């Protein structure tokens, strides 16, 4: 009896230890390299871990949101993988840089040329995309992961706020607040600089004008003083000449 109890306790303890030491459940995720701000452009990476110890991931399909279509999507080349971009027509045309966009990217599919993502490894698939919507806080990308043993895992369940994470959550990209309009700021600064320059020019002009008036006044005073001194010199010379004449007559 005692031996049986000890064996049962040991088995339960072993199962508990294995459960606690098991690796965290990994899934396909997406994360921005830097900031993914509303209304802007960003580079994001889809991170794909291999969850199997007896198969390799050889294909990844990422579907882009249809409720917030993106005008520009460009995958970065990944060694050992071939990327195929699939386009479709949006429900209504988009505008980008003053032009109408009649086609948007609906999905990007990566297929391995070689072994793919082997057990114990993960792979990142970078994509440049935009312009990001201004009226959304996040974007969900439904992903499908295929293994070389033909197993398919669909990461398509969109997590809901206030609920537990689903078993196969879709990658979700969090969007940051829109950044300030740098062009507007530069324009305002330029106007301020122009106004300040105008004020400085006016002040310099006024100072120059004041300096000129002061110089004219000084010149006039000196001229009058010179005339007075000259007149005094002439008068002195006349008086001195008369005195010599008087002395000679005596």
Query: In the prediction, which pLDDT does 151 show?
Result: 97
3-state secondary structure (DSSP) of residue 86: strand
Q: How far is CA 132 from CA 9, 75, 78, 136, in A?
A: 56, 16, 24, 9
For CA atoms 37, 38, 42, 44, the dihedral sign is positive
3-state secondary structure (DSSP) of residue 131: coil
Listed as ranges, residues in the chain with pLDDT below 50 are: 1, 3, 6-24, 182-199, 201-203, 205-219, 221-222, 225, 228-229, 234, 238-240, 246-250
Query: In the prediction, which pLDDT does 108 show?
Result: 98
The token duo for 230 is 């000259």
Specify whether the CB–CB gap between 134 and 102 falls below 8 A.
Answer: no
Which pTM was predicted? 0.62
Query: In the prediction, which pLDDT does 56 show?
Result: 98
Query: In the prediction, which pLDDT does 162 show?
Result: 83
The token duo for 174 is 């969090």
């Amino acid at each position: 009896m005692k031996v049986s109890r000890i064996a049962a306790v040991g088995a339960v303890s072993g199962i508990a230890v294995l459960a606690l030491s098991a690796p965290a459940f990994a899934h396909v995720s997406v994360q921005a390299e830097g900031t993914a701000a509303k209304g802007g452009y960003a580079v994001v990476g889809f991170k794909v871990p291999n969850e199997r110890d007896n198969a390799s991931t050889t294909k990844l399909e990422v579907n882009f949101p249809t409720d917030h279509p993106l005008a520009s999507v460009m995958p970065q080349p990944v060694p050992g993988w071939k990327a195929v971009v699939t386009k479709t027509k949006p429900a209504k045309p988009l505008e980008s840089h003053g032009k109408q966009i009649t086609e948007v990217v609906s999905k990007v599919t990566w297929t391995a040329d070689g072994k793919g993502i082997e057990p114990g490894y993960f792979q990142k698939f970078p994509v440049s995309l935009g312009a990001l919507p201004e009226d959304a806080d996040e974007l969900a990308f439904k992903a499908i992961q295929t293994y070389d043993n033909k197993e398919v895992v669909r990461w398509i369940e969109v997590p809901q706020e206030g609920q537990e994470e689903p078993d196969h959550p879709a990658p979700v990209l969090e969007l940051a607040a829109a950044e300030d309009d740098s062009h507007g700021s530069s324009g305002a600064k330029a106007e301020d600089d122009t106004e300040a320059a105008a004020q400085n020019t006016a002040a310099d002009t006024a100072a120059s004008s004041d300096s000129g008036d002061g110089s004219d006044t000084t010149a006039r005073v000196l001229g009058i003083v010179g005339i007075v001194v000259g007149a005094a010199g002439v008068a002195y010379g006349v008086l001195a000449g008369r005195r010599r004449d008087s002395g000679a007559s005596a």
